[in-house]
Amino acid sequence: MQIELIDFPGEWLIDLPMLDLSYEEWSRNMLAAAECGARKEWVLKYFDHVDAIGIGAAFDEEVAEDLADLWREYLQVSIDSGYVLNQPGRLLRPDALRNSPILRLVPLPERLAGSGLWVGMEARFKDYKSKVIKPFYKKHFSKIDRQIVLIDLLRAIQLGEPVFNEMTESLSETLKSFNYGKGGGLSWLVGGATSHVLFAATKCDHVTRGDRANIEQTMRRMLSHLDDQNELRASSLKHEVMAISSIKVTEDRKTTKPPVREVLFGLPKGAAQPNQYDPGGVPLDFPPHWGEVDFEFYEFQPMHELMTDALYEGFPAINLGRVLEFLIGDDFA
């Protein structure tokens, strides 16, 4: 038995819903999102540049490159701030396509429809779907039979309602494509054989031991809500939800003085020494009651003792055994 692991950025997965959109629809969606909340401050340079373009503008690679640079700057600030609905994803993670003209793709306002610039961008949008998105998914998804979707649920909760809502919206759109072979966005994949999909809430070592089950419960409620038509569950896929940590960088402890409660012992980013921290509780409701959320996401780093012990004992983890059992346990039954 041979196991091949394929890892790809989540930014590429975010592109998948683009396959079902026209350039006009995609532009409308992206520009509308850019005008909401904190995003509208980050996109000002791009909008100012686009506003100066006349309706008679022709498509030109230099103009396209300038627009793509400004759009990329906006997307980078967005993703650094926790927002995930950033398309085209390859602008952020170009890989072998770095500096390729096909990545000079941006949304344009409808007032420019019919202009040479619009026509050129529309053609590029079609090329991006046919030459970038489809080949990538056909290459990998037609062969992958077990899939893990990593979800940074805790950071989204920490960053608040707008980020959390965008994460769930993006996941909802992506889920529509996971209905393999039954009319979903991946139904065009010939030979697709994905049978197991695991939705994993990561970094569960950043919450106290008693809250780790709550993370899974929150994830289940979220997926049940997003898959309200039962499309994923009614498909042939076997799917599961887990809270995991590939490297456990904290220790589970309890306070010594009443009221006794569970805390984490760890080394947050920027701290000189490890200490005890109380991150608060993970909300069980979906969507959370934001006025009642009391959770702090500490960016814990590996402690020196952990790194030393790992040389001889390996890194401690949470639920990786369950992950392997779900993904490949059937093959050893």
Give pLDDT, residue 190.
45
Q: Are residues 213 and 104 in the same domain?
A: no
Give pLDDT, residue 86.
95
Is the pLDDT at 192 greater than 90? The verdict is: no
Give pLDDT, residue 188.
46
Which residues lie closer than 8 Å to 285 by C-beta, 6 or more apart? 218, 221
- Assess if residue 130 is contained within a domain: yes
Q: Which of 77, 107, 141 is the last residue of a domain?
A: 141
Paired strand residues for 239: 197
Average pLDDT, the chain: 87
Report the alpha-carbon distance of residue 18 to residue 24 in Å, rounded: 11
pLDDT tens sequence across 154-166: 999 999 999 999 9
Is the pLDDT at 200 greater than 90? The verdict is: yes
Q: Are residues 83 and 31 in the same domain?
A: yes
Q: Are residues 164 and 249 in the same domain?
A: yes
Backbone angles phi, psi at 134, to 5 degrees: -65, -45
Q: Are residues 266 and 325 in the same domain?
A: yes
- Assess if residue 217 is contained within a domain: yes
Q: Are residues 187 and 105 in the same domain?
A: no
Tell me the percentage of the chain whose pLDDT exceeds 70.
Answer: 90
- Assess if residue 2 is contained within a domain: no
Q: How many domains does the chain have?
A: 2
Q: Residue 333 is encoded by which pair of tokens?
A: 């039954």
Q: Which of 91, 117, 141 is the last residue of a domain?
A: 141
H/E run at residue 155:
helix 153-159
pLDDT tens sequence across 19-48: 989 999 999 999 999 999 999 999 999 999
Strand 196-201 relative to strand 146-151, pairing: parallel
Report the alpha-carbon distance of residue 35 to residue 78 in Å, rounded: 12
Is the pLDDT at 314 greater than 50? The verdict is: yes
- Expressed as residue numbers, the domain containing 160 is 146-332
Q: Are residues 54 and 36 in the same domain?
A: yes
- Assess if residue 4 is contained within a domain: no
Segment 93-121 mean pLDDT: 95
Q: Are residues 130 and 152 in the same domain?
A: no
Q: Are residues 67 and 110 in the same domain?
A: yes
Q: Are residues 177 and 153 in the same domain?
A: yes
- Assess if residue 227 is contained within a domain: yes
Segment 134-151 mean pLDDT: 80
Tell me which residue of 170, 187, 185 sits closest to 226, measured CA to CA: 170
Q: Are residues 30 and 99 in the same domain?
A: yes
- Assess if residue 3 is contained within a domain: no
State the residue for tokens 């780790």. 212
Report the alpha-carbon distance of residue 296 to residue 253 in Å, rounded: 17
- Assess if residue 237 is contained within a domain: yes
Structural contact between residues 8 and 93, judged by C-beta atoms closer than 8 angstroms: no
| DSSP codes, 78-140 | HHHTT----SSGGGTS-GGGTT-GGG------GGGTTSHHHHHHHHHHHHHIIIIIHHHHHHH
Is the pLDDT at 105 greater than 80? The verdict is: yes
What are the C-alpha distances in Å from 179 to residues 21, 22, 182, 189? 18, 21, 6, 12
Q: Are residues 47 and 132 in the same domain?
A: yes
pLDDT band for position 181 (cuts 50, 70, 90) = very low
Give pLDDT, residue 305.
75
Choice between 31 and 328, residue whose per-residue pLDDT is larger? 31
Tell me the percentage of the chain whose pLDDT exceeds 90.
Answer: 57
pLDDT band for position 100 (cuts 50, 70, 90) = very high
Segment 90-102 mean pLDDT: 92
Is the pLDDT at 236 greater than 60? The verdict is: no
Choice between 92 and 306, residue whose per-residue pLDDT is larger? 92
User: Global pTM?
Assistant: 0.86
Q: Which of 89, 124, 141 is the last residue of a domain?
A: 141
Paired strand residues for 155: none
- Assess if residue 5 is contained within a domain: no
Q: Are residues 23 and 73 in the same domain?
A: yes
Segment 78-84 mean pLDDT: 95
